[in-house]
Structure 1
């Protein structure tokens, strides 16, 4: 029900109100290391409604080839209630909603772990995000610490659609003022993390639509140990600045050149491309070779951004098959699970990266020092992901 209210006319006041430089506020967000308290739950602001046009634009911007994210009729004929938001869009939105509270002051995102997609996100679903602080590890005076957090994406029906853990490197407060405080709450918000989670999937049809996917990305096409060199690269332009806004990420490192050029070390200079966008482009580059016939992204783990990207860099991808097995229960007759290692490189082709670095390309960068090996500067990303994929029959 609407109501009509008459307000007084607006008058110009700026010249009549004295400027008081003793009455200035400097709101700032994120958290310093000491401000993370294990057990604390952040209820992140705003939430995000998945409009159909945004869903399609994301899938096309990141070159997704799976018709579940592009073709409403195909998605419905596959058993879903309509077009699906791509998993990468869901992940990017859920993570970005939390940046204001949990990582806007982070020095680095250290890794993604145990990400699980638990149910579909459809057009006009509204997703909100919550984060729980799991652990704060201090490493001595003057050194940044490591904070482990868990984040949930929850839909308008209070159902968890995505959950994952990540680690961030955070500096101590030192002599800087504290951040803008959280609203006071009488009780800690509930945090419905799902242990041993089940995935809510539709009853799939006996046979899926044919002719709308490529011929070489069915379950039977993947052999354990196989390396797939994805053909195309993708040059990132200054578009990444607006694309960071599009998913709601508020870390200034990704769009504020004054901020980024004021940093020290290798992060100083042009804004760093938000890692979630890099992940999405790499996955898109791989999609027609590995995920075009998938019906669900089960999740990913042990994911690391091993080098940053800036505008002008060209990224490319390779996938390695780590495991292949039948889907559980009755799904096994028509679906299988394939685990891939996804590797990203920059400023050379995937084929040249494989020729130059060979098997070292697939070793964890953080383990290289213990193995007396050099890290690979051209390598930007590594992660393991699991897909539920159609069988050819």
Structure 2
């Protein structure tokens, strides 16, 4: 079916239509605590088509050093049919797709859990997002509560590319305007209970000099602590980048909104945490992940302090496990504890705080230790890393 219509001259009519303030609409997005129902499934709007230019821009802006996300011929030599998107970009996009329904009313993002990357995303792939409400914990109607959700991203073939759990802190609605109604039509939620990572990897035949000589699987031993040399100062660029990945929470780009809040969150727009994570990971990439073949996932990740424009972030990585794979001699798995700090170099942070940097901030109270104001991020990550070339 096609549509055709002759356009008439467009006349101004606003002056002839009376203004009726009672007809004003005020659409609201996200959810308040009492609007989350366990078992509910949200289909997130819009979707996101990846293209090579945006993928390369993201990898460069966030200082990615793994040639897998920068060099098409390198990716092909390692068995990938095309340049794969950086996992950080996939993570940011899928999380951002869900903000419209999940967390646009959230006070805080409390943590990431069981993040798993199941398959690559290539230029031309289109991702859609789904979220299922798992649990809702109230602490009294005068206090915000906590919602546990599961979110996943699927490609145009209905294959899950990423899935994870997240906790968000949300206020009760009270006398505020209700948000957009939840869908009433049942929706399937294709969470993968026993995921299998299927990668098109071969041994590769490409110059090994494009990466450093000491970032292969054999170069990491249990207990190694890598202090990443460079920091990264974040500017107001973060506001444009937030919307570039599709995040719609006004806390990250609306100064009128952010300064109108009360309490600790009032002030300049807060940098979207996914971007902070991406910059920290990029700062570490030439030291730990430039020879990675795949980001397997993240466990127990927390933004322990917010960042704003003008803050400088830095990172360090600690090897907490290595695993030899029985079915391949091409790669092994290395698990890192990954720490981010702000407004202090990683080296100075290590000298100042020592081993306390590697204690979870949520555990500090029971250990009679103070939380660290300079520490902004903590997570564990598992990487599939190439072995040294023969």
TM-score, normalising length: structure 2: 0.98
Q: Secondary structure at the match of 1:74?
A: helix
C-alpha separation between the residues in 2 aligned to 1:328 and 1:48?
Answer: 37
Aligned to 1:252: 250
Aligned to 2:347: 351
1:206-225 matches, cutoff 5 A: 209-225=207-223
Q: Secondary structure at the match of 2:23?
A: coil
C-alpha separation between the residues in 2 aligned to 1:205 and 1:376?
Answer: 43
Aligned to 1:129: 129
Aligned positions, number: 389
From 355, 361, 374, give the equivalent of 1:378: 374
Aligned to 1:92: 92
The Cα shift of 1:320 comes to: 0.2
Spell out, residue by residue over 1:243-301, the C-alpha distance to the aligned partner (whole angstroms, 9 max, x if none).
Answer: 10110100011011111111122211100000000000000000000000000000001
RMSD between aligned alpha carbons? 1.2
C-alpha separation between the residues in 2 aligned to 1:141 and 1:309?
Answer: 29
Aligned to 1:337: 333
Kept in 2, the 8 Å contact 1:136–1:147? The answer is yes
Kept in 1, the 8 Å contact 2:203–2:330? The answer is no
The Cα shift of 1:211 comes to: 1.8
1:168-317 matches, cutoff 5 A: 168-182=168-182, 184-185=183-184, 187-205=185-203, 209-317=207-315
Say yes or no: does 1:12 pair with 2:8: no
Say yes or no: does 1:388 pair with 2:381: no
C-alpha separation between the residues in 2 aligned to 1:285 and 1:203?
Answer: 25
The Cα shift of 1:188 comes to: 1.4
Aligned to 1:63: 63
Q: Identify unmatched segments of 5+ residues in structure 1.
A: none
Q: Secondary structure at the match of 1:383?
A: strand
C-alpha separation between the residues in 1 aligned to 2:297 and 2:335?
Answer: 10
Spell out, residue by residue over 1:63-105, the C-alpha distance to the aligned partner (whole angstroms, 9 max, x if none).
Answer: 0000110001110110001101000000000000100100000
TM-score, normalising length: structure 1: 0.97
Q: Secondary structure at the match of 1:102?
A: coil
Kept in 2, the 8 Å contact 1:78–1:209? The answer is no
C-alpha separation between the residues in 1 aligned to 2:247 and 2:160?
Answer: 21
Say which is worse superposed, 212-221 or 98-107, in terms of deviation: 212-221
C-alpha separation between the residues in 1 aligned to 2:343 and 2:127?
Answer: 35
Spell out, residue by residue over 1:302-341, the C-alpha distance to the aligned partner (whole angstroms, 9 max, x if none).
Answer: 0000000000000000000000011342x2x110000001
The Cα shift of 1:203 comes to: 4.0
C-alpha separation between the residues in 2 aligned to 1:9 and 1:68?
Answer: 54
Say yes or no: does 1:363 pair with 2:359: yes
C-alpha separation between the residues in 2 aligned to 1:179 and 1:3?
Answer: 34
Q: Identify unmatched segments of 5+ residues in structure 2.
A: none
C-alpha separation between the residues in 2 aligned to 1:206 and 1:123?
Answer: 21
Kept in 1, the 8 Å contact 2:44–2:130? The answer is yes
C-alpha separation between the residues in 2 aligned to 1:139 and 1:256?
Answer: 29
Q: Secondary structure at the match of 1:370?
A: helix
The Cα shift of 1:178 comes to: 1.1
C-alpha separation between the residues in 1 aligned to 2:99 and 2:139?
Answer: 23
C-alpha separation between the residues in 2 aligned to 1:209 and 1:180?
Answer: 54
